[in-house]
Structure 1
């Protein structure tokens, strides 16, 4: 028989772990947004070495499992004398992984902006950085919102991998209590419900943002 009363006394600990899950997800997504923008700008650059570097980064990261990348950061870097804690390792690995995917999202958004707008801005004497900041990137970001939202939701779920490097996030804490109480179904179902609630809230917020942006277009 399933006994969810076992879970009730551990709810405060699960909620604390949920906060850590959100911290990993939000910070890793933020890092991915920054890295993705840099990689996207490098990829569309006319400077060939920058294009090669961006292509190599995207190729390697998208072509290897995120779990391998996480283990390389957490277990591999100390072998080179670089000591990084579990939280930072998870943040770096997940952020770098997300950046490769976000770079392609940004690139698609940037290329979707009509060339005529850039040419018009150039005719007005605007330089490359001003054109990007005021004309290209705002439109590219708006177009990319749905894909970036999906990436943020994926990050929320991928944050569970941080448990494999001893980060006390939701999955790690759920595993610990499940093993202690021999109540695996109860704790894993509870963790699933919490993840479902978080992803539903994220989706609701992203849909609101997308709706407001679409209204502003009109």
Structure 2
């Protein structure tokens, strides 16, 4: 159980220091908005690393946007879309709907990237260890889309780093060749928020303020 996202980030940074000390090289920290940026800021501060965002988005089901039928991330102009084929078939989701939802979420990703970066270009990750940080993962669908998008930018390695994740998700990432570092892997899992005493909602304004404060040191 973590007190809040800041504490989780500090603990995660201690875990990641040994990874980077083992000859992995320079790191760039990419936080997943919104809550993941709070964790990522604590990680970046402890590691003395630059901080940026990666903005994956859930593809919501028709009439139930909280139910994911896939996930989307962008690598510059390239769309990285992962579709949950089993859920799509079970719900009878049409190709036309999926394309419309991908376009909706693409526009939202671009809006958020522009707002969060305030006109700055993305942090370069070429040749670096890209630490993709969130406050936790459950199914890992959006994190997988984000990791694939970051891989297009030629990092030395992509490491998905979270305070908490279910053990089967860690195994699924490993089977795909993606490293997922989690401080805790409890089972049964449930929702990410149950592993925090304080899991308050984070708004865009706080994300922007945290990113700005890190840039200014």
Superposed pair shares fold, TM > 0.5: no
Q: Higher relative CO (CA 8 A, sep ≥ 6), structure 1 or 2?
A: 1
| TM-score bracket, shorter-length normalisation | under 0.3
TM-score for the superposition, normalised by structure 1:
0.27
TM-score for the superposition, normalised by structure 2:
0.27
Flag the structure with higher strand content: 2
Flag the structure with higher helix content: 1
